[in-house]
């Protein structure tokens, strides 16, 4: 058994509406600072044998499973703001109904589409975030995590 732990506190499958909005359940917005909320493009590299790790894009021998990461746990420094801009991450605001609006390129990055399902994962690790995944990429990632942990 490997000494590896990923802390997922909640998993929910939701529907993105025809306008590209996603209604976030209360358990995902509780404790979030809406004035400091960012949507970041992210990815996890997975080897065919199921072993995964977080790496920089471009490494050979791995397949990238892409997703969106929503977090309010980012320090406000000029260096960070430059990195956010370079990675096409952006500050987001939730509307009055706690919905987030996605841009087309963000949905393409995560492999999700208008009027389709997506999987929300609340990660309560030392750097908490909400992951927004396509159901297909989530299943691949979850299988990789389970095979590595066993």
Q: Which of 19, 37, 17 is nearest to 28 (CA)?
A: 37
CA distance 12 to 126: 21
CA distance 104 to 121: 21
In a domain, 48, yes or no: yes
CA distance 38 to 1: 36
pLDDT at res. 110: 93
In a domain, 3, yes or no: no
In a domain, 68, yes or no: yes
In a domain, 1, yes or no: no
In a domain, 137, yes or no: yes
Instruction: Write the CATH number for 26.
Output: 3.40.1550
Min mean pLDDT across 2-6, 52-56, 60-64, 114-118 is at 2-6
pLDDT tens by residue, 97-122: 989 999 999 999 999 988 889 999 88
Q: How far is CA 32 from CA 60, 75, 127, in A?
A: 36, 14, 13
More confident residue, 135 or 86: 135
In a domain, 53, yes or no: yes
**The model scores a pTM over 0.85:** no
Residues in the chain: 150
Phi and psi (nearest 5°) for 13?
Answer: -105, 125
Q: Stretch 50-61: mean pLDDT, rounded?
A: 50
pLDDT at res. 75: 65
Report the mean per-residue pLDDT for the chain.
79
In a domain, 142, yes or no: yes
More confident residue, 37 or 50: 37
In a domain, 2, yes or no: no
Provide the 3-class DSSP secondary structure of residue 95.
Answer: coil
pLDDT at res. 146: 77
> Quick check: 21 and 100 in contact, CB under 8 A?
yes
Query: Tokens for 83?
Result: 């990195």
* Domain limits for position 50: 8-149
pLDDT > 70: percent of the chain = 79
The count of domains in the chain is 1
Q: Is residue 126 scored above 90 in pLDDT?
A: no
pLDDT at res. 50: 47
């Amino acid at each position: 058994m490997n000494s590896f732990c990923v802390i997922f506190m909640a998993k929910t499958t939701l529907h993105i509406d025809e306008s590209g909005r996603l209604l976030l359940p209360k358990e995902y917005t509780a404790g979030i600072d809406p004035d400091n909320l960012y949507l970041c493009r992210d990815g996890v590299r997975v080897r065919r044998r199921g072993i995964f790790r977080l790496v920089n894009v471009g490494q050979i021998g791995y397949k990238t499973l892409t997703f969106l990461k929503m977090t309010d746990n980012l320090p406000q420094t000029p260096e960070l703001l430059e990195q956010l801009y370079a990675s096409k991450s952006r500050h987001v605001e939730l509307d009055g109904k706690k919905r987030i609006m996605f841009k087309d390129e963000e949905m393409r990055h995560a492999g999700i589409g208008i009027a389709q399902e997506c999987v929300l994962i609340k990660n309560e690790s030392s750097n908490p975030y909400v992951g927004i995944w396509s159901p297909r990429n989530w299943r691949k990632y979850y299988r990789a995590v389970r095979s590595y942990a066993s």
